[in-house]
Amino acid sequence: MATADQIDNENHYYVREIDYSEIQKKEVVGEGSFGIVYKGIWNDTLVAVKNISRETEKKSFLIEVRQLSRVNHENIVKLYGACTQGMLCLVMEYAEGGSLFNVLHRSNLQYTLAHAMSWAYQCSKGVEYLHSMKPKPLIHRDLKPPNLLLINGGVHLKICDFGTAADKNTYMTNNKGSAAWMAPEVFSSSHYTEKCDVFSWGIILWEVVSRKKPFYNKGGTAFSIMWAVHKGKRPPLIRNCPLPIENLMTTCWDHDPKNRLSMAEVISFTHLVVFSMA
């Protein structure tokens, strides 16, 4: 395999090859759709190091290196480089606030509706950037709070985990924990577009506003959730939820992708809601 330190002229991406011996690995901070994530130091900088633990994860690793090195946006985690010789790992910016999932469901942090809308808004901006990439839109396909990281005291949100962006087989086999955010067309057919990210975003909006886990009462199995979603089941409407926010989530999780908003429309609507609350 060629080293990472190269420019791919056809796809216009550059990846810096990092020497594994230059990374000081510390404690485990989490687990992504593939690989284990460690806190570490590289180049005198606090970093997150994602190591693949099985040979079968190599494909997802290469997809993530390739996709992350093509993107540059304030709401997407920054890749510093990768080790592609011997030990395979990604080195990226460290998000000290951990995942949004941990903040929502494993912490006592008090937050307001304005905070919730700001997280949803930042997520929509990162996703819209992916969808407007040329020559082809990049579909994330695994948007969910465990893949949304927080920095700057929980104020700034960044999307991570690109191991399933673009590879259909990896998505269905490795992401059993993602069923609650998955659009019905993703598990029922092989024809889907960037509107599957819009569906996931609608579920995330419900989750940040309600502070509940979607489909938590569905027996917990991926299959039972997929079956319920396929049959039209959605999270329950939230008591006292402002109507514009309720309309936003229900339009985004419409069964028919054509009826869902585009991510650019999501941004416009969310922007209006966020600023009307300021």
Please state, in angstroms and rounded to a whole number, the distance separating the CA atoms of residues 164 and 180. Answer: 16
Only segment of 10-18, 121-129, 142-150, 224-232 that touches ligand ACK (CB under 6 A)? 142-150
CB 68 within 8 A of CB 79: yes
197 catalytic? Reply is no
Candidate residues 67, 75, 99, 175; the one interacting with ligand ACK per rule CB under 6 A:
99
Candidate residues 40, 81, 126, 146; the one interacting with ligand ACK per rule CB under 6 A:
146
37 binds ligand ACK (CB under 6 A): yes
Please state, in angstroms and rounded to a whole number, the distance separating the CA atoms of residues 183 and 179. Answer: 8
Indicate the pairing of strand 79-83 with strand 36-42: unpaired
Residue 38: helix, strand or coil by DSSP? strand
CB of 187 to ligand ACK, least distance (A): 21
77 binds ligand ACK (CB under 6 A): yes
- Build a one-symbol-per-residue string for 159-198: x at contacts with ligand ACK by CB under 6 A, - elsewhere: -xx-------------------------------------
Which residue among the candidates 142, 161, 167, 197 is catalytic per the annotation? 142
81 binds ligand ACK (CB under 6 A): no
Q: Does residue 213 have a known ligand-binding role?
A: no
Candidate residues 94, 192, 199, 206; the one interacting with ligand ACK per rule CB under 6 A:
94
Only segment of 96-104, 130-138, 191-199, 236-244 that touches ligand ACK (CB under 6 A)? 96-104
102 binds ligand ACK (CB under 6 A): yes
Residues between 209 and 268 with contacts to ligand ACK, criterion CB under 6 A: none
Exposure string of 61-84, with b = 16+ CB inside 10 Å and e = fewer, is: bbbbbbbbbbbebebbbebbbbbb
CB of 248 to ligand ACK, least distance (A): 26
Angle at 193 between CA 190 and CA 197, to 5 degrees: 110
CB 49 within 8 A of CB 40: yes
**Nearest one of 99, 210, 211 to 157, comparing CA atoms:** 99
Candidate residues 15, 23, 32, 248; the one interacting with ligand ACK per rule CB under 6 A:
32
Ranges assigned E (strand) in the chain: 6-8, 13-15, 24-31, 36-42, 45-51, 79-83, 89-93, 148-151, 156-159
Pick the closer one to ligand ACK by CB: 140 or 195.
140
CB of 23 to ligand ACK, least distance (A): 14
CB 250 within 8 A of CB 234: yes
Measured CA to CA in angstroms, residue 170 lies from 80, 123, 221, 230 at distances of 24, 23, 19, 21
- Report the interface residues with ligand ACK, using CB under 6 A: 29-32, 37, 48, 77, 92-95, 98-99, 102, 146-147, 149, 160-161
Q: Catalytic site residues?
A: 142
